[in-house]
Amino acid sequence: MAIADNLVAYYKFDDNSYTDSLGNFDLTNSNTTDTTGKIDDARAFSEASTQYLYRNSTTDLNPNNGSYSYNCWIYVAALADFAAYHTVFNKGGIDGTTGLECITDADATKGRIAFGKPGGWVRLTTTYDWTTGEWQMLTFTWDGTTSKIYRNGTLITGGTSNSGAYADTTHNFEIGKNYQGTANSRKYWNGKIDEFGYWTKALTQEEITSLYNSGNGLAYPFSTGWSKKIFGLSNISKINGISLSSISKVNGV
């Protein structure tokens, strides 16, 4: 199975844009700014300025109780930016028993992802400390049985759980903001986010390793053999109807 299979939405955030590379689920910007990213450009978020991105639909981007994965690159400048309950992204639920959120943990030094389901949240806390002043790739998967968290392509020790099946929510998908706003100690994100993808499948270790790409990252359409820009044109995915992701050589090179 190719990395692009079951890809639902992908946000490169290049050229001051927050559109979906697949053309289906563009985001709306609430005051985030363009900045240097892991690959080309990224979005900068400030808690103080309540900056975030969102999909203005309560039904779009629901995992619908099946397998799913989220992958993105994050950057923070200082450990102080990891105050408790800063939100990377969420598809939350008003009653706290549906949806999904990815937030920093209560001690502000560890990551946490919480899965909502009838009866309450199932929280999965990682066992690694955040690093600052560098880009790091975070991956979250659910295969219908087990949830996992990866950092920089490596499964985090203790980062698995057999609980946390997703329950659909009637709330917008948001990056950099929690569905609760600032209630219950939730906070906006402080830092940068780049190359955000959402799949309706559990990414494999091989696919996650490819996305990490030895620390260089790999942007949609997930080909290491082609540059994003050709003759000054950006966001090229096909030439003469052929997907660039399926081309490995030109004239034998």
pLDDT digits (tens, 9 = 90+) for 96-108: 566 777 877 766 6
Q: Is the peptide bond preceding residue 63 cis, with omega within 30 degrees of 0? A: no
Cβ–Cβ under 8 Å, residues 184 and 101: no
Tell me: the pLDDT tens digits for 169-204?
778 999 999 888 777 778 899 999 999 999 999 999
Three-state DSSP class for residue 148: strand
Specify the pLDDT at position 53.
Answer: 97
Which residues fall within 8 angstroms of residue 216, CB to CB, at 6 or more apart? Answer: none
Helix (H, G, I), strand (E, B) or coil at 225: coil
Q: Per-residue confidence at 146, pLDDT binned at 50, 70, 90?
A: confident
Q: Cα separations (Å) of 228 from 18, 221, 234?
A: 17, 9, 6
For the stretch 34-76, pLDDT in tens is 999 999 999 999 988 889 999 999 889 987 667 889 999 999 8
Q: What is the CA radius of gyration of the chain?
A: 17
Total count of residues recorded for the chain:
253
Average pLDDT over residues 198-213: 97
Task: Please check whether residue 178 is in contact with residue 103, taking contact to mean a CB–CB distance below 8 angstroms.
Answer: yes
In order of start, what are the domains of the chain with their CATH numbers?
Answer: 7-222 (2.60.120.200), 225-253 (no CATH)
The number of C-alpha atoms within 13 Å of 89 and in the hemisphere containing its C-beta is 25
Residue 34: predicted pLDDT: 98
Contact by Cβ (8 Å): 156, 107: no
Across the chain, mean pLDDT equals: 80
Asked whether the predicted pLDDT for residue 150 surpasses 50, the reply is yes
The alpha carbon of residue 253 and the mean position of all alpha carbons in its chain are separated, in whole angstroms, by 33
